[in-house]
Amino acid sequence: MMDKKELTLFIKAEALRLGFTVCGIAQAAPVDLRTVGYLKKWVGEGRHGTMGYLERNCDKRTDPTLLFPGCRSIICVALNYFPGNVEEERLHLSRYALGRDYHKAVKDRLFMLLQAINGKVKVSGRPFCDTAPLLERYWATRAGIGWIGKNHQLIIPNAGTHFFLGELLIDAELEYDTPLEGNRCGECSECIDACPTNALTAEGFDARLCLSYLTIEHRGELPENIGEKMGNCFYGCDRCQKWCPHNRFATPTQVTEFTPSAALLAMDESDWKGLTEERYKELFGNSAVERCGYGQLMRNINSLK
Ligand code: SF4
Ligand code: SF4
C-alpha cells in the first residue's frame, strides 16, 4: 500500500508518461474570495457576451467539492498542442484547432491516469477538460503549474501557453504543490499591444470584443468591419499568444492527435472560400471545429477582407 507521498510521486510520473508536459496537485477547497468577486463582476458587466453557461452553476464553479462531492485533490495537467511553424501567410485556423478534438485527447489520458491510480489505491475520480463549471486556469495556478498572464492565458514556466488543460478530481488526499501566485508579466504589454480589437487592455479582458469568442462562440451576425481585424485567421486568433515572450520556449507537440493533417495544411484561399459541407465534414469530422458548424465557419470565411 502506497503512502500519500509515494502516491503523489506515482501520479506525477504517470501523468508525464501519458504525455502531459506538467502535472501539479491542489487541495480541493472553495475558490478564494478575490477570484469569486472578479468572476461575479466580470459576468455582471456582461463581458462574457452570449456565453450564458458562465452565468449558471456559480456554486459549483466556485467550489469543486460541489461539482464532485467527496473531492479532496485536484490533479492538474497540461497537454502541448503547439504545431510548430505552420504557414500562417495563408488563410488559417487558430493553432489549437489544427489537430483532433482536444476534449477527447485530454480526457482519454485522464481516464488512463485514473485507472493507473486505481491499480495502486482504490479511489473515485472524475476527469474534466473544458467540459464542466471548473475554473481551469485558477486550479492550474493553485497546483503550481503556471500563472495567468495579461493575455489571460496560463503561462507555464519554460514552456509557454500552447496547452490544453485538464483536471482529475479524486477523493484521496495527496501532497500539494505550492501555488504560483500573481501576474509575473512585469512591464511587458506585448499581448495587449498585439490585440487588434482592444479585447485585451490594461484593465482586463472583454470577451465580446475578442476574435476568438466572435468566430467560435458567437452564433449571430459578426460586427461590421470585423474582417479587417481578423487578418487571415478565420477561426480563433492567436495574436496574444504569438507575441508572448514566454512562447520562445514552445516546442512542437509530440501528441499524435494534434499533428495537423496534411489535407488541412494544403488548403489555400480558394479551397476555403469554396468549401462545401461535405468537404467540411471530411476535414473536421474528429475536431473541436465541428462544434462551430459549417454555416458559422463559412460566415467567418466570408467576413474576411
Ligand atoms: S484572441 Fe485575439 S482578439 Fe482575443 S484577446 Fe487575444 S489578441 Fe485579442
Ligand atoms: S505578452 Fe507579455 S504581458 Fe502578455 S502575457 Fe506574455 S509576458 Fe505577459
- Residue of the nearest CA to atom 5 in ligand 2? 149
Residue 183 confidence (pLDDT): 82
Band (pLDDT 50/70/90 cuts) for residue 115 is very high
- Residue of the nearest CA to atom 4 in ligand 1? 210
* Chain mean pLDDT for the chain: 95
Q: Show the cell assigned to 87.
A: 504557414
In percent, the amount of the chain with pLDDT more than 90 equals 90
168-222: per-residue pLDDT in tens? 999 999 999 999 988 899 999 999 999 999 999 998 999 999 999 999 999 989 9
Give ligand 1 pocket residues (Cβ under 6 A). Answer: 194-197, 199-200, 210-212, 237, 239-240
Q: Show the cell assigned to 112.
A: 488512463
Band (pLDDT 50/70/90 cuts) for residue 268 is very high
The answer to whether residue 130 is catalytic is: yes
Residue 87 confidence (pLDDT): 77
Band (pLDDT 50/70/90 cuts) for residue 1 is confident
Pick the catalytic residue: 3, 63, 108, 130?
130
Identify each DSSP E strand in the chain by its residue range.
22-27, 73-80, 92-93, 125-128, 147-148, 154-155, 163-170, 200-201, 204-205, 233-235
Instruction: Kindly give, in sequence order, each residue whose CB lies less than 8 Å from that of residue 254, ignoring residues fewer than 6 positions away.
Output: 19, 80
The Cα angle at residue 145 between residues 291 and 46, in degrees rounded to 5: 45
Pocket of ligand 2, candidates 161, 185, 193, 248: which has the most ligand atoms within 8 Å of its Cβ, to mutate? Answer: 185
What are the residue ranges spanned by the domains of the chain? 4-170, 190-245+261-303
- Ligand 1 centroid distance, CA of 126 (Å): 31
116-150: per-residue pLDDT in tens? 999 999 999 999 999 899 999 999 999 999 999 99
Residue 52 confidence (pLDDT): 93
**Residue 93, exposed/middle/buried by CB under 10 A (0-12, 13-18, 19+)?**
buried
- Ligand 1 centroid distance, CA of 282 (Å): 28
